[in-house]
């Protein structure tokens, strides 16, 4: 029997964890989006939420992420901005400002280049929902 390295076991566990999540990602992702993102990004993700009247930096139309990236949904960039790896100017630092909302059970996504991105189940769900908003 072959022993798996620790990294291989983590990736395998993440893949097994993600499989059931993807089935319900849009609904769970939609609910998280409605609970935490709509005030700025709007119900349809077009950057027209009720807070836009008081924001100095307007939220982007996130329904155009793929269109603005040569038709490819920029998973790596989206995850990095949401989980705080890349600060978002409009948030004054990392997004989300909601703390542990995007922490929790491990999940994984394939980046646009096929490289796995280890993240949380909640992040997987939100990213899947954001992909469904693309026009």
Q: Percent of the chain beyond pLDDT 70?
A: 74
Residue 80 has pLDDT above 60, yes or no: yes
**Predicted TM-score (pTM) of this structure:** 0.76
The DSSP annotation for 40-86 comes to HH-TTSSS--GGGGT-SSPPP-GGGTTGGGTT---HHHHHHHHTTSS
Report CA 4 to chain centroid distance, whole Å. 29
pLDDT at 11: 57
**Residue (of 4, 10, 22, 56) closest to 127 by Cα position:** 22
Instruction: Please give the Cα distance from 120 to 108 (Å, whole number).
Output: 7
Average pLDDT in the 92-118 region? 81
């Amino acid at each position: 029997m072959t022993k798996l390295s620790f990294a291989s076991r983590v990736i395998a566990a993440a893949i097994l964890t993600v499989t059931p999540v993807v089935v319900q990602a849009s609904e769970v992702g939609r609910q998280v989006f409605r609970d935490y993102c709509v005030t700025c990004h709007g119900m349809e993700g077009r950057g027209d939420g009720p807070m836009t009247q008081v924001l100095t930096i307007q939220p982007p139309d996130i329904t155009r992420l793929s269109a603005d990236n040569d038709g490819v949904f920029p998973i790596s960039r989206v995850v990095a901005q949401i989980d705080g790896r890349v600060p978002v100017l409009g948030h004054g630092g990392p997004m989300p400002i909601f703390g542990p909302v995007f922490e929790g059970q491990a999940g994984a996504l394939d980046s646009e280049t096929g490289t796995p991105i280890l993240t949380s189940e909640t992040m997987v769900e939100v990213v899947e929902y954001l992909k469904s908003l693309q026009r």
